[in-house]
Amino acid sequence: MMRNTYQATTHMTKSYVDQIINNMINYYNSALTIAYNKIATLEVQNVEFQVKLTSLPESGTVAKTKVPEPPTFTDSENKMQLNDWLNQIALYCSASSIIHDDQKIVCAFTCLHAPASIYMKAYFNKV
């Protein structure tokens, strides 16, 4: 009788564990199927985005506002001319994506001619 009880209990326990394992397998299989479907959808979207991305113009070809190079500056007693020239330098640097101060200074110095360039040479050497 004990042997029959032992076998019945063992059989019930094994059946219960098998049922739980099968439920877990079914759950994870359905979860994996959902994940695979989402991955497939994302892969399709990725291909669509790649196609759209290749049809966009390159960043270098995007139309920019053209700003002429600033004029050369020689000498002026008129502060308004100097301020106008400095504004043109600032506008040119902004449009040309010159953002660092040392680059802006070099840009401005390239537009100086004597006597202004001679006067500013000492400053440039100091900086």
DSSP annotation of 115: T
Tokens 């063992």, residue?
Answer: 10
Give Cβ neighbours of residue 2 (< 8 Å, ≥ 6 apart).
none
- C-alpha 121/C-alpha 112 separation (Å) is 10
In tens, the pLDDT along 88-110 reads 888 888 888 888 888 888 888 88
pTM metric for this prediction: 0.46
Q: How many CB atoms lie within 10 A of CB 73?
A: 20
Interacting residues of 69 by C-beta distance below 8 A, sequence separation 6+ = 92, 111
- What is the mean pLDDT of the segment spanning 71-91? 81
Nearest to 93 by CA among 85, 103, 83: 103
In terms of average pLDDT, the best of 12-21, 77-86, 104-113 is: 12-21
Residue pLDDT, tens place only, 24-61: 999 999 999 999 999 999 999 999 888 888 877 766 55
Cα separation of 28 and 37, whole Å? 14
Share of the chain above pLDDT 90, in %: 28
Residue 112 CB neighbours (<10 A): 19
